């Protein structure tokens, strides 16, 4: 009799576990520490004083997936300043920048770089690391900072060109997709 009770309780537990697994499979997907599937807007920003930008490019918004997310180029909006041609590829926990054929140097200012704003309701980044093996630019961790859902990468005064690359590995939180 006791064996039947134990067997019945075990069977009920298995049914509950199966039901929980089916319900979990039906829930909307969470990003779970990844940038894939997230909506992100990229801007180029240059300033001495953040309240008075010298250049702020038009934002471009995409959903992170396979391939190159952004291919930016000149916008001809601010005389004497413009967007340096760049391609940006975003992976699950990595952002890579590469540049066009024309070499040059980024304008030197307090901040001259990229702002990636992710559509989320929580802080998305716990940390970052420059991949030294895949990066040719002299960017350091100190050139990067996060403000909640935005990541700022300062390349002020650095040289760019066909051999210039920047790869940043990110520690991404498990914020739900927005």
> Do residues 124 and 149 make contact, with C-beta atoms less than 8 angstroms apart?
yes
Tokens of 83: 């967007």
Q: What is the mean pLDDT of residues 162-175?
A: 93
Sheet strands (E) in the chain: 39-47, 55-56, 60-63, 68-72, 86-90, 94-99, 104-105, 111-118, 125-130, 144-147, 150-154, 159-160, 165-172
| Percent of the residues in the chain that have a pLDDT greater than 90, as a whole number | 65
Q: Is residue 19's pLDDT more than 70?
A: no
pTM (2 decimals)?
A: 0.79
Each residue's pLDDT tens digit, 79-112: 777 899 999 999 999 999 999 888 999 999 999 9
Q: Is residue 46's pLDDT more than 50?
A: yes
Predicted confidence at residue 81, as pLDDT, reads 77
Predicted confidence at residue 3, as pLDDT, reads 43
Rounded distance, CA 118 to CA 63, Å?
10
Q: Is residue 14's pLDDT more than 70?
A: no
How high is the mean pLDDT of the chain? Answer: 83
Q: Is residue 146's pLDDT more than 60?
A: yes
Identify the CA nearest to 149 among candidates 114, 113, 173. 173
Q: Could you count the other beta carbons within 10 Å of the beta carbon of residue 98?
A: 18
| Confidence band for 178, pLDDT divided at 50, 70 and 90 | low
Calculate ∠ Cα 132-136-140, nearest 5°: 55
Q: Tokens 């959903």 map to which residue?
A: 63
Each residue's pLDDT tens digit, 67-78: 999 999 988 877
Cβ-based burial of 82 (10 A; exposed 0-12, middle 13-18, buried ≥19): middle
């Amino acid at each position: 009799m006791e064996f039947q009770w134990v067997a019945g309780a075990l069977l009920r537990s298995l049914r509950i576990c199966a039901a929980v697994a089916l319900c979990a499979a039906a829930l909307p997907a969470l990003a779970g520490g990844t940038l894939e599937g997230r909506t992100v807007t990229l801007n180029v920003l240059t300033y001495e004083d953040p309240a008075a930008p010298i250049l702020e490019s038009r934002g471009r918004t995409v959903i992170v997936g396979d391939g190159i997310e952004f291919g930016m180029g000149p916008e001809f909006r601010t005389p004497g300043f413009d967007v340096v041609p760049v391609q940006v590829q975003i992976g699950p926990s990595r952002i890579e920048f590469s540049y066009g054929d024309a070499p040059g140097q980024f304008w030197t200012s307090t901040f001259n770089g990229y702002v990636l704003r992710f559509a989320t309701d929580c802080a998305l980044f716990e940390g970052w690391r420059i991949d030294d093996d895949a990066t040719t630019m002299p960017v350091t961790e100190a050139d990067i900072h996060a403000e909640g859902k935005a990541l700022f990468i300062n390349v002020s005064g650095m040289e760019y060109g066909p051999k210039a690359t920047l790869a940043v590995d990110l520690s991404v939180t498990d914020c739900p997709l927005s």
